[in-house]
Chain A
Amino acid sequence: MTITKERTLAEIVRKDFPILHQEVNGKPLVYLDNAATSQKPLAVLDALRNYYEQYNSNVHRGVHTLSGKATDAYEGARVKIAKFVNANLPEEIIYSRNASEAINLVAYAWGLTHLQPGDEIILSVMEHHSNLVPWQLVAKTTGAVLKFVELTPSEEFDLEQYKTLVSNKTKLVSVVHVSNTLGCINPVEEITEIAHKYGAKVLIDACQSTPHLPIDVQKINCDWLVASGHKMCGPTGIGFLYGKEKLLRAMPPFMGGGEMIADVFLENSTYADIPHKFEAGTPAIAEAIGLGAAVDYLSNIGMDKIHAYEAELTAYLFEQLRQIPEIRVYGPQADSTGGNRAALASFTAGNVHPHDLSTILDQAGVAIRAGHHCTQPLHRYIKAQSTARASLYFYNTKEEIDVFIAALREAIEFFGGIFG
């Protein structure tokens, strides 16, 4: 009789990711920079290739067969994404280049037309630059005022302080779901409910949650939600904005051009209905179809299963990091299940600067991020000039965490010698 150990999720899926099977600097690649961008499974690569090899054509423009096929696939991907985040209607999903563009769409199409001097926009100190700069621009133009939610002592979203910030002046709350630096999971349902009591709109930056957790926009009840395809197994150049139907209908277009019009005259035009009103010009057709394939791939595994496996990795990662005295991790500690936070760790390692650390780990085949991860104000807030970040996905393994930890210890030793 043979006893077969149950295979982990990573053991099952790794064969789907060709890029993972290579050596970097003579060592097997350990890719721990997933918060920056994820790797792509064959299913996505095949979808891109099939499109270009078999039915490359412009969408919504031709009556010929290939154009019809391309349009079906392009719109089919929208339906998949809508289902993936539990939107009420496919039309509530607007394609964008990435999350940044989706936020800018709301900032320009809604912000510029709805905000008055003295109106307040609530953000948090942990926001990615993508969810800060567009609002700074809008505030400057409209005279609206930015307010910031700070952190609790455990470096999480301070819900109590948030409650004191919201008022009748609040017109918008725009916050991140899962912080790409702290890894905390913010209470977006509660945040939304409170904002709505004051009639404020809510935008959720779901860049770091959509790839890892089941997302239900109706349960969150947010007005908008944005995500980037490239962080969730999809191609670069495609992301999406979810918006409530009524709200999207009421918003003016963001950009003008082909696809987004109904009737065009020389002096003025009428606009297409949602979602096309917001999709000017030839869109990223292959990329949208690729994102549809990514969503299929993730759904077939199951987001619950992905989250459960990543929680296991998180618990293990933190257990290992805790044993290195020089390491200071930012954001909440992982509980014993690992499920209370994201599968990433931003940290400093004593005297080893994150940049030097990243170079040393790279020599061991381990890819991590070093810097401020596009959260400069947060780094100022937590008084870290820069941090190193290891971020995991469902194809990572405990063995890879071991390689990372061993390399980390070596790096600290290498530098520790001189500081000893």
Chain B
Amino acid sequence: MTLGNLRDLYQQVILERYKTPRHKGKTNPVHRYQKGHNPSCGDTIELTLQLSDAGDKILDAKFEGEGCAISMASADLMAEALKGKTVKEALEMVERFQQMMKGEAEFPKELRKLNVMQGVAQFPVRIKCANLTWHALKAALQSSADAESNGFISNEKEEA
């Protein structure tokens, strides 16, 4: 088997985060709640955010969910990278991550941990998995503050 190729996809960091996520759970309090769902495979993510009083900064991000190594590691790494970011910065990160999945960008030094997801770009059918959590984030940030009432987003039509 071409394990070399797979090592690019399943970097050690990804496997470790899949096994022992560091940001699983729910923020306290919950200022934003968003469910993400991948109907074709059944992967789900429930993302929660705690924002600053002014609502312009992410103080904490956590996720619950079930899914493959790629989707879960992606969520864990994202939650970590979001802490302390402004809403504007976070939305820029969404854009950059999606560009990275097309092989067109990577993150600067201070966010380089996210670059371990780069290998996914070589596996087009798995891009959906990596993007799920970022889709949920975008929807969460664009939604109004009445947290739990949000529905869920589906990323079925992405990168088809």
Contact = CB atoms under 8 A, between A and B. Distances in A.
Interface of A: 25-27, 351, 353-356, 359-360, 363-364, 370-372, 376, 379, 385-386, 407, 410, 414-415, 418-419
B9 interface: yes
Given A355-B67, A355-B70, A363 B42 contact: no
Contact of A414 (B5, B6, B129): B6
B41 interface: yes
A255 B15 CA distance: 52
B2 A356 contact: no
B69 interface: yes
Contacts of B125: 359
A345 B18 CA distance: 26
7 contacts: A353-B68, A355-B43, A363-B5, A372-B42, A379-B42, A410-B3, A419-B19
B66 to A, nearest CB: 5
B123 interface: yes
Interface of B: 1-3, 5-6, 9-10, 15-16, 18-19, 40-44, 66-71, 123, 125-126, 129
A353 B67 contact: yes
B41 A418 contact: no
A410 B2 CA distance: 11
B10 A25 contact: no
Nearest to B18: A418
Contact of B126 (A351, A359, A407, A414): A359
Nearest to B3: A414
Given A371-B40, A386-B41, A363 B19 contact: no
Contacts of A372: 41-42
A359 B9 contact: yes
Nearest to A353: B68
A418 B73 CA distance: 14
Contacts of B67: 353, 355, 385
A127 B1 CA distance: 36
Instruction: Choose among A26, A354, A372, A418 the residue with the greatest number of B CB atoms under 10 Å from its CB.
Output: A418
Contacts of A26: 2
